Amino acid sequence: MPLLSVFAVLLGIWLLPIPLAYIGYEVYEFNDPEGRPFVELDPLPIYDFIVVGAGSAGAVVASRLSENPAWNVLLLEAGGDEPEIVSNAPALAANLQMTRIDWGYRTEPMTTACLGLEGSRSKWPRGKVLGGSSVLNYMLYVRGNRRDYDRWESFGNPEWGYDDLLYYFKKSEDNRNPYLARTPYHAAGGYLTVQEAPWRTPLATAFVQAGIEIGYENRDINGESQTGFMIAQGTIRRGSRCSTSRAFLRPIRHRPNLHIVIHAHVLKVNIDHVYKRAWSVTMLHQGRMRIIQARNEIILSAGAVSSPHILMLSGVGPAEHLTELGIPVIQDAAVGLNLQDHIGFGGLAFRVDQPITLVQSRYEDMVSAFRYYVNGEGPMTVLGGVETLAFVHSKYSNVSLDWPDVQFHLIPATIGSDGGQTIRRALGVSNFLWETVYKELSFTDSFSAIPVLLRPKSKGYIKLRSAHPFIPPIIVPNYLTEPEDAAILVEGAKLGLALSQTSALRRFGARLHDTPYPQCVHLGLFTDEYWECCARHYTSTIYHPCGTAKMGNATDPDAVVDPRLRVYGVHSLRVVDASIMPTIVSGNTNAPCIMIGEKAADIIKQDWGFPT
Ligand X SMILES: *[C@@H]1O[C@H](CO)[C@@H](O)[C@H](O)[C@H]1NC(C)=O
Ligand Y SMILES: Cc1cc2nc3c(=O)[nH]c(=O)nc-3n(C[C@H](O)[C@H](O)[C@H](O)COP(=O)(O)OP(=O)(O)OC[C@H]3O[C@@H](n4cnc5c(N)ncnc54)[C@H](O)[C@@H]3O)c2cc1C
Distance, in Å, from the CA atom of 115 to the CA atom of 537, rounded to the nearest integer, reads 4
Cβ distance to ligand Y smaller for residue 9 or 242: 242
Is 39 annotated in a binding site? The answer is no
Shortest gap between Cβ of 282 and ligand Y (angstroms)? 10
Of 138-146, 163-171, 331-339, 475-483, the window that binds ligand Y (rule: CB under 6 A) is 138-146
Of 247-255, 302-310, 524-532, 604-612, the window that binds ligand Y (rule: CB under 6 A) is 302-310
Cβ distance to ligand Y smaller for residue 294 or 504: 294
Is 316 annotated in a binding site? The answer is no
Distance, in Å, from the CA atom of 279 to the CA atom of 292, rounded to the nearest integer, reads 9
> According to the binding rule CB under 6 A, does residue 552 interact with ligand X?
yes
Name which of residues 8 to 67 contact ligand Y (CB under 6 A): 52-58
> According to the binding rule CB under 6 A, does residue 140 interact with ligand Y?
yes
> According to the binding rule CB under 6 A, does residue 111 interact with ligand X?
no
Cβ distance to ligand X smaller for residue 213 or 556: 556
> According to the binding rule CB under 6 A, does residue 301 interact with ligand Y?
yes
510 closest CA partner among 519, 518, 521, 501? 501
Q: Measured at CB, which residue is nearest to ligand X?
A: 156
Q: Which DSSP symbol is given to 157?
A: -
Q: What is the number of other CB atoms lying within 10 angstroms of the CB of residue 323?
A: 12
Distance, in Å, from the CA atom of 592 to the CA atom of 152, rounded to the nearest integer, reads 13
Name which of residues 554 to 573 contact ligand X (CB under 6 A): 555-556
Distance, in Å, from the CA atom of 103 to the CA atom of 107, rounded to the nearest integer, reads 13
Shortest gap between Cβ of 163 and ligand Y (angstroms)? 22
Name residues whose C-beta falls within 8 Å of residue 175's C-beta, 6 or more positions apart in sequence: 181, 186, 187, 188, 194, 195, 233
Question: Among ligand X, ligand Y, none, what does residue 174 contact (CB within 5–8 Å per kind)?
Answer: none
Shortest gap between Cβ of 562 and ligand X (angstroms)? 11
> According to the binding rule CB under 6 A, does residue 302 interact with ligand Y?
yes
Q: Catalytic site residue 321?
A: no
Pairing label, strands 446-453, 46-52? unpaired
Name residues whose C-beta falls within 8 Å of residue 141's C-beta, 6 or more positions apart in sequence: 194, 222, 232, 233, 234, 235, 588, 590, 591
367 closest CA partner among 384, 351, 379? 379
Shortest gap between Cβ of 452 and ligand Y (angstroms)? 11
Question: Among ligand Y, ligand X, none, what does residue 556 contact (CB within 5–8 Å per kind)?
Answer: ligand X
Q: Which DSSP symbol is given to 17?
A: -
| Residue in 401, 467, 471, 525 binding ligand X, rule: CB under 6 A | 401
Shortest gap between Cβ of 590 and ligand Y (angstroms)? 3
Contact 242, 192 (CB under 8 A): yes
Name residues whose C-beta falls within 8 Å of residue 328's C-beta, 6 or more positions apart in sequence: 273, 315, 322
- Please list the alpha-helical segments (H only) found in 297-433: 303-313, 319-324, 360-363, 366-375, 423-427, 431-433
Question: Among ligand Y, ligand X, none, what does residue 590 contact (CB within 5–8 Å per kind)?
Answer: ligand Y
> According to the binding rule CB under 6 A, does residue 432 interact with ligand X?
no
Name which of residues 490 to 549 contact ligand Y (CB under 6 A): 543-544
CA angle 43, 46, 50 (to 5 degrees): 80
CA angle 143, 146, 150 (to 5 degrees): 125
| Residue in 255, 265, 362, 571 binding ligand Y, rule: CB under 6 A | 265
Shortest gap between Cβ of 265 and ligand Y (angstroms)? 5
Shortest gap between Cβ of 364 and ligand Y (angstroms)? 19
Of 30-38, 301-309, 327-335, 508-516, the window that binds ligand Y (rule: CB under 6 A) is 301-309
Angle, nearest 10°, between helix axes 162-172 and 146-154? 130
- Which residues face 260 on adjacent strands? 75
Cβ distance to ligand X smaller for residue 80 or 156: 156
| Residue in 12, 43, 79, 492 binding ligand Y, rule: CB under 6 A | 79
Question: Among ligand X, ligand Y, none, what does residue 142 contact (CB within 5–8 Å per kind)?
Answer: ligand Y
Shortest gap between Cβ of 159 and ligand X (angstroms)? 13
477: amino acid identity, one letter: P
| Residue in 51, 136, 187, 534 binding ligand Y, rule: CB under 6 A | 136
| Residue in 88, 134, 357, 500 binding ligand Y, rule: CB under 6 A | 134
Binding residues with ligand Y: total (CB under 6 A): 43
> According to the binding rule CB under 6 A, does residue 336 interact with ligand Y?
no
Name which of residues 562 to 601 contact ligand Y (CB under 6 A): 577-578, 588-591, 593
Distance, in Å, from the CA atom of 390 to the CA atom of 371, rounded to the nearest integer, reads 29
Question: Among ligand X, ligand Y, none, what does residue 552 contact (CB within 5–8 Å per kind)?
Answer: ligand X
Shortest gap between Cβ of 399 and ligand X (angstroms)? 8
134 closest CA partner among 69, 55, 77, 197? 55
Distances, alpha carbon 115 to alpha carbons 280, 383, 539, in Å: 43, 28, 8
Catalytic residue among 342, 513, 537, 544: 544
Distance, in Å, from the CA atom of 514 to the CA atom of 221, rounded to the nearest integer, reads 31
Q: How many residues make up the chain in this entry?
A: 612
Name which of residues 156 to 215 contact ligand X (CB under 6 A): 156
Contact 49, 296 (CB under 8 A): yes
Residues within the interface to ligand X (CB under 6 A):
155-156, 398, 400-401, 552-553, 555-556
Annotated binding site for FAD: which residue ranges? 129, 266
Which residues have a catalytic role annotated? 544
Residues within the interface to ligand Y (CB under 6 A):
52-58, 76-79, 125-128, 132-134, 136-140, 142, 264-266, 301-304, 306, 310, 384, 543-544, 577-578, 588-591, 593
